[in-house]
Amino acid sequence: MGGAVSPATTLRLKPLYAFRLFTDYRSPIKLLNPQKLHTTPIPRQRSFCSVVSAAISSGEALEKPKFDGVKNEQVKEFRKRLRVADIKGGVDEGLERLGETLVVRGWVRTVRAQSSVTFIDVNDGSCLSNMQCVMGSDAEGYDQVENGSISTGASVWIEGTVVSSQGSKQKIELKVQKLVVVGKSDPSFPIQKKRVSREFLRTKAHLRPRTNTFGAVSRVRNALAYATHKFFQENGFVWVSSPIITASDCEGAGEQFCVTTLIPNSNEGGESPVNAIPTTEAGSVDWSQDFFGKPAYLTVSGQLNGETYATALSDIYTFGPTFRAENSNTSRHLAEFWMIEPELAFADLDDDMACATAYLQYVVKYVLENCKEDMDFFNTWIEKGIINRLSDVAEKNFVQLTYTDAVELLLKAKKKFDFPVKWGCDLQSEHERYITEEAFGGCPVIIRDYPKDIKAFYMRQNDDGKTVAAMDMLVPRVGELIGGSQREERLEYLEERLDNMNLNKESFWWYLDLRRYGSVPHAGFGLGFERLVQFATGIDNIRDAIPFPRTPGSAEF
């Protein structure tokens, strides 16, 4: 087998490459006609991504294969795709590319035929903006316009020249030289031009990322996730994957999903005879025959596991899915959601609050800086003023006060609450909203030192004997976004607490070991990632903040 492709080196779209791309796009290389794909295979060295054809035609780096005795070729070079975001995201919104010939691949959002030209808006998901493509009747492929193949939802391959746009919406547009319909869109395509409700789109979760709203949510979600990793990595935290399946039923049975192979598992939900489930003589499920030899559940939190790594590596974070089998059909609850749980060794509650604050400010700032177009969209269409709200969070000093002071504040408030306030009760969202939105005028507030009776067993007891070193971060509009605590590092306190709460100490043997062998003060917090997405996008319903929401009665897709 003959000529090898360019060598497989690690890539990046270096400035020089970028330049070559455009010059090559202009050169008369033979372009693969994607329409033929339906009947002929894609030729080996003529990748659909014509970027590569370009590299080949430029005669660059053709090396002989190394192993002549055996038929083989080298793997071709990988290059970053030229995206609409790259074209329109330049210093001057693409004006610097005037006159360049380039290729856009994406999906048709709208087609508007006028007397002399047809406007085709193409989106490739890299940004909110479409590439407006202007096609005259002399362009190659115009018959596809005429025969109606180019409709909303169709995928297209368009080669054209960058020209300045007459319209006010964009600085540049593409004057089409050649258009190829890659895949037609059946007229039943459910997402047509007119706006459709987000409720409806939940039933089309496989297509909704092709809308402006869900495209923008996807990109902001991605940016928040990456910013999360960047923040912790830059600060020396190690990402730890806490287990998803767990046999230690630590926090609240009943809210956990059972994971089992005992129920006969016929394809497509057919018959599952109950009498085929192995039982003990007493008629109980015989867990010893289950996959793990005992009951196993989906995790509700990676914290306890995270602590084991924090007390070895000092600072760690988890970022993975967690689960609640709660029957809550609300706009704030999911059965499956992603959680971020950092854990800091040699740290107290102050360090914990400082870390949570710095983290939130970092990711908010990252999104404001890196998702400008999407944030403008949310600001206009989803929540007016969200950019100001987020800028405040990124810049304002966060305030902390104790639970006791917060209760005092609420008791003195001139506002009538539905739930009366009393020391020892959990704060309701009306209270939380009052504190952050009214008392502190839109400033994020951390409430700390909660009564121990309303908090989890692992939180460190304060000296007053009544409160624990817990904290909740409240933000305007969303309410509680982050919950954390310093962990009880004193073995005797922890054991006493487990006893008082009737928890089985033996099942916590490994957690208690952390207090037997070089215990250290440590603290951490948890943040529901989809709440953060809601907070950063203004999206009302949490089911729209995750690609495929799982809720009671709903696990479609």
Binding positions for its own copies, 437-456, rule CB under 8 A: 439-441, 443, 445-446
Q: Is 6 helix (H, G, I), strand (E, B) or coil?
A: coil
Comparing CB distances to its own copies, the nearer of 246 and 534 is: 246
Taking CB under 8 A as the binding criterion, the range among 14-22, 70-78, 111-119, 376-384 that sits at the site for its own copies is 70-78
Q: Which of 25, 309, 450, 457 binds its own copies (CB under 8 A)?
A: 309
Closest approach of its own copies to the CB of residue 166, in Å: 28
Tokens of 458: 């692992």
Q: Given the complex with its own copies, which of 163 and 490 has the nearer CB atom?
A: 490
SS3 call for 42? coil
- The nearest distance, CB 59 to its own copies, in angstroms, is 18
265 binds its own copies (CB under 8 A): yes
Rule CB under 8 A: say whether 74 interacts with its own copies: yes
Torsion, Cα of 334, 340, 346, 348 (10° steps) = -50
Closest by Cα among 361, 412, 404, 380 to 532: 361
DSSP labels, 460-474:
PBPTTSSEEEEEEEE
Kindly identify the residues of this chain, within the stretch 141-160, that bind its own copies according to CB under 8 A: 153-155, 157
Token couple for 495: 């054991």
Give whole-number Cα distances, 285 to 265, 274, 545, in Å. 16, 10, 38
User: Which of residues 68, 138, 234, 418 is near its own copies by CB under 8 A?
Assistant: 234
Residue closer to its own copies by CB (options 163, 365) is 365
Q: Which residue has the tokens 């405040």?
A: 392
As a whole number of angstroms, the distance between CA 438 and CA 3 comes to 71
Q: Does 117 bind its own copies (CB under 8 A)?
A: no
How far apart are CB 277 and its own copies at their closest, in Å?
A: 6
Q: Does the footprint of its own copies cover residue 260 (CB under 8 A)?
A: yes
Of 17-25, 91-99, 110-118, 291-299, the segment contacting its own copies by CB under 8 A is: 291-299
Task: Please state the closest distance from residue 164 (CB atom) to its own copies, in A.
Answer: 25
Rule CB under 8 A: say whether 557 interacts with its own copies: yes
> What minimum distance in Å lies between the beta carbon of 418 and its own copies?
22
**Cβ proximity of 436 and 476 under 8 Å:** yes
Q: From the CB of 142, what's the least distance to its own copies, in Å?
A: 19
Nearer to its own copies, 163 or 239 (CB): 239
Task: State the Cα angle at 521 between 472 and 516, rounded to 5°.
Answer: 125
Could you say whether residue 350 binds its own copies (CB under 8 A)?
Answer: yes
Residue with smaller CB distance to its own copies, 321 or 483: 321
- How many angstroms separate the CA atoms of 172 and 99, rounded? 10
When binding is defined by CB under 8 A, the residue of 52, 339, 375, 527 that contacts its own copies is 52
Query: Any contact of residue 483 with its own copies (CB under 8 A)?
Result: no
Q: How far is the CB of 168 from its own copies (least distance, A)?
A: 27
Is residue 447 within 8 Å of residue 459, measured between CB atoms? no
Exactly one of 38, 194, 414, 422 binds its own copies (CB under 8 A); that residue is 38
Q: Hey, which residues does 162 pair with through a beta bridge?
A: 174
The contacts of residue 441 (CB under 8 Å, 6+ apart) are none
Task: Tally Cβ neighbours within 10 Å of residue 279.
Answer: 13
Token pair of 17 as six digits: 């490459």
Q: How many residues interact with its own copies (rule CB under 8 A)?
A: 198
Position 83, amino acid = R
CB of residue 266 to its own copies, shortest distance in Å: 7
Least separation, in Å, of the C-beta of 379 and its own copies? 21
Taking CB under 8 A as the rule, does residue 521 contact its own copies? yes
130 contact partners, CB below 8 Å, separation of at least 6: 84, 109, 110, 121, 122, 123
Number of CB atoms found within 10 A of residue 538's CB:
21
Rule CB under 8 A: say whether 94 interacts with its own copies.
no
- Interface of this chain with its own copies, residues 164 to 193, rule: CB under 8 A: 182-186, 188-189
35 binds its own copies (CB under 8 A): no
Which of 21, 25, 54, 77 forms a contact with its own copies (CB under 8 A)?
77
381 contributes a contact to its own copies by CB under 8 A: no
Query: Which residues lie below 8 Å from residue 556, measured CB to CB, with a gap of 6+?
Result: 203, 205, 548
x/- contact string, 404-423, with its own copies (CB under 8 A)?
-x--xx--------------
Integer Cα distance of 391 and 33 in angstroms: 48
